Each structure stands twice: as structure tokens, then as C-alpha cells.
Amino acid sequence: MADITIIYHNDIVKGTLELLEATNLKNLVKPHMKVSIKPNLVLAKPASYGATTHSEVVEGIIIYLRKLGISDIEIIESSWIGDNTKRASKACGYGTLCEKYQVPFYDLKDDEICVVDTGAYQIEVCKKAIETDFLINVPVLKAHCQTRLTCNLKNLKGCISDKEKRRFHAFGLDEPIAYLNKAITTHFCVVDGICGDLTFEEGGNPITRNMLLAGEDPLLMDSYCARLIGYNFHEVEYLGIAKDIGIGRVYDERTSVVELRGDEKPVQTKANSGLVKRLAKYVKEDKTCSACYAALISGLNQGRKPKDIIHVGQGFIGKSGKLGCGNCCSKFDNFVPGCPPKAVDVKRFLKER
């Protein structure tokens, strides 16, 4: 099995099912287990805003687990301070989902708290997050205004008390987030990369990728996902701390990554926010796959703006020009290789122009 498995799919439920079937999950869970699913419902905004986990991803996980004979399934989450978890779950379609499959949803703001000693920190953790047999972490791949990336490791912040959330911010987030992953074990990760926000965790600047990712090591997944939105491993401080304290390993050239339906990356671009529209003025696109377009926009947002227009898309295969993004522009004078390229490579490319 691959370390990281990726799928591109326009049907989120079917894509999730196909993704999971290609992973080792079937060998990790047993029918007698209590399985807890932890999405990101940070606030009451639909997933299309780029901040919250699509309910269809969780639906696919539930269907898959049921096929494996697992009946004891629950969804656990608490929204950020200042928002209401129940309102967020309703806005994101989880009320309908839970009713359809008779799966309970637990607002962790109402859960019992226990203190876990991680060595460096004593952390107030919600009991359901540590008393489960198997925790499936289902974050959104998106940026964060303070930590740059929020994905698997930071998603566990929804499993602590509001009081503890405030304390995390007082400590500066990075170190507490790393140690939180000593207190709570993620057993499997399914990352919602459908349309995560380009710039920060609250949503509003979504960029369509139609991508789902899965794997067992949350740190490995996060260090790979950081590259997808334009950051090297060392630029996300809590990833380095997590590595040092033994949470997992980090992405390198030895990591096995498998793409499913790589030839079906959707030809779909959406400049559906003011920020993306402003960055799109530097781009000429023709038949662009969303993953490639997302990498380019992410790189443009963080990097130097080019003096010349940068081209992207299948419409430029075999054509020439000055600047291109992706293997479709391999005949250009200068281009970022990859199908799709990673945002971190786009940022580096722009810096060198």
C-alpha cells in the first residue's frame, strides 16, 4: 500500500469509497470497534466556502465502514470559540447525514474533560477523542493565518475544551498543537482537498481541486499537504516539533504517493473569490485542470508576481511561450514541471524569474 493515496473525482461519495478501497483501512478496523470520525466544522459555513469538511466525504467513510461490518460509528467535533457546533453541523449538512445513517453526532463542547499529561503540557482533552477504539481524522486542506497550514494535526484542536483552545493561543499554537497529537492518537486520515481556502481558516477564498487524500501517518500527510499549498516543511513550525517528539515521519523522496484517476483531473477552474480573481490577472489558462490551477494560484498568492503572463492548461500542449505552469507547458522557455506541480515549486519558480 502507498504511504499517501490521492484521488480526483467529481462525485465526492464515490470518490471517497474508491479512495478508501485502495488503502489499508480495511485491515486496520475490526467489526467490534467503536470508530469516531472527526471532521472540521470550525464554524457555520457550508463546505463550498473552503473552511469545513464536506459531509459527503464523511458519508463515504460511513458507507465504507458499514460494508466492513462496523456498526458503532460516531461523529465528534466542536467548533471554534464564538461559534456553535450544532449550528455548524446543520449548516454543513451533518444533521441530514446523521439522520440518514442513524449515526450520532456529539458536540464535544458538552463532553466530559480529562487531563492528559504529554510531558511538556497537561492538556484538557474531550473524553470521546481518547476513549474511542479508532479515530479517523477528516480535516480540510487549507491555509491558516497564524500557523500557515491547518490539516490533520491541527484538526485535533476541536477535541479540546474551549478553555484549552484559549490557552493554546496564549502559548502560541505551534508547540501545543504538536503535543496535542501525543495526547490524542489519529489512526487514519482522510483529507478533504475539494476546495480548501487559499489564505486562511475561516473560508471565503476557496480554490477548487476536487482532490481527496488518505493515509495512516498524520504528520506525513500534513508535510505533504503543506507543499500542495506552497510551504516547505520547515515553514510550518508545528510540523518540525511533531517530528522531534515522534508523532510520525515527514514527506521526502522515499514517500510512496499513488494517484487514482490521474487522467481524470477535472478540467474546471473557479475564480470564485475576489482574491482569486485578482491573482487570475497574471494567468492565461486554457483547458486547465483544477489541481494545476490551484497550485498556480496558491503559488502566486505567496510568491513574487511575474512580469509576464504565466500560462497554464492542456490548451498549451506543444505550444511555446515565455512562462508556463505544469507539464502541458513543457515547450515554453521556462515552466514549472509537474502534473500537477506543487504550489511550493510555483513559488520558487516565481522567485527565480
Q: What is the CATH number of the domain that holds 162?
A: 3.40.50.11440
DSSP string, 175-237: HHHHHHHHHS---EEEEEESS-BSS-TT-S-B----EEEEES-HHHHHHHHHHHTT--GGGSH
Last residue of a domain, one of 213, 239, 263: 263
- The strand pair at 122-126 and 113-117 is best described as antiparallel
Q: Whole-angstrom Cα distance, residue 298 to residue 342? A: 9
Nearest to 20 by CA among 33, 36, 2: 2
In a domain? residue 26: yes
Q: For residue 250, report the phi and psi dihedrals to the nearest 5 degrees.
A: -110, 160
Domain co-membership, 247 together with 281: no
Q: Whole-angstrom Cα distance, residue 141 to residue 129? A: 21
Grid coordinates of 317: 500542449
Last residue of a domain, one of 222, 239, 263: 263
Last residue of a domain, one of 263, 298, 329: 263
Domain co-membership, 315 together with 243: no
Q: Whole-angstrom Cα distance, residue 138 to residue 140? A: 7
In a domain? residue 268: no
CB 156 within 8 A of CB 132: no
Domain co-membership, 88 together with 140: yes
In a domain? residue 318: yes
pLDDT per residue rounded down to tens, the chain (353 residues): 899 999 999 899 999 999 999 999 999 999 999 999 999 999 999 999 999 999 999 999 999 999 999 999 999 999 988 789 999 999 999 999 999 999 999 999 999 999 999 999 999 999 999 999 999 999 999 998 788 899 999 999 999 999 999 898 888 899 999 999 999 999 999 999 999 997 778 888 888 889 999 999 999 999 999 999 888 889 999 999 999 999 999 999 999 999 998 776 755 444 455 677 788 889 998 877 656 777 888 888 888 899 999 999 888 999 999 999 999 999 999 999 998 888 899 999 998 87
Domain co-membership, 24 together with 68: yes
Q: What is the pTM of this model?
A: 0.84
- The strand pair at 4-8 and 334-336 is best described as unpaired
Domain co-membership, 34 together with 92: yes
In a domain? residue 336: yes
Using only the alpha carbons of the chain, give its radius of gyration.
20
Domain co-membership, 82 together with 163: yes
With 0-12 CB in 10 A as exposed, 13-18 as middle and 19+ as buried, what is 6?
A: buried
In a domain? residue 86: yes
Nearest to 143 by CA among 302, 6, 13: 302
In a domain? residue 269: no
Domain co-membership, 93 together with 214: yes
Nearest to 148 by CA among 301, 305, 345, 351: 301
Omega before 104 cis (within 30°)?
no
Domain co-membership, 223 together with 311: no
Domain co-membership, 22 together with 103: yes
Look up the domain containing 224 and give its range: 4-263
Domain co-membership, 176 together with 235: yes
C-alpha distances in Å from residue 66, one per residue of 56, 70, 101: 15, 5, 10
In a domain? residue 340: yes
Nearest to 78 by CA among 117, 38, 116, 23: 38
In a domain? residue 168: yes
Domain co-membership, 62 together with 170: yes
pLDDT of residue 289: 67
How many domains would you assign to the chain? 2
Amino acid at 185: T
Grid coordinates of 230: 506552497
Query: Taken in order 229, 230, 233, 238, is the CA torsion positive or negative?
Result: negative
DSSP string, 252-301: -TT--EEEESGGG--B-----SHHHHHHGGGEEESS-BHHHHHHHHHHHH
Domain co-membership, 169 together with 312: no
C-alpha distances in Å from residue 347, one per residue of 6, 187, 211, 302, 306: 23, 33, 21, 7, 11
Provide the β-strand partners of residue 212.
Answer: 7, 192
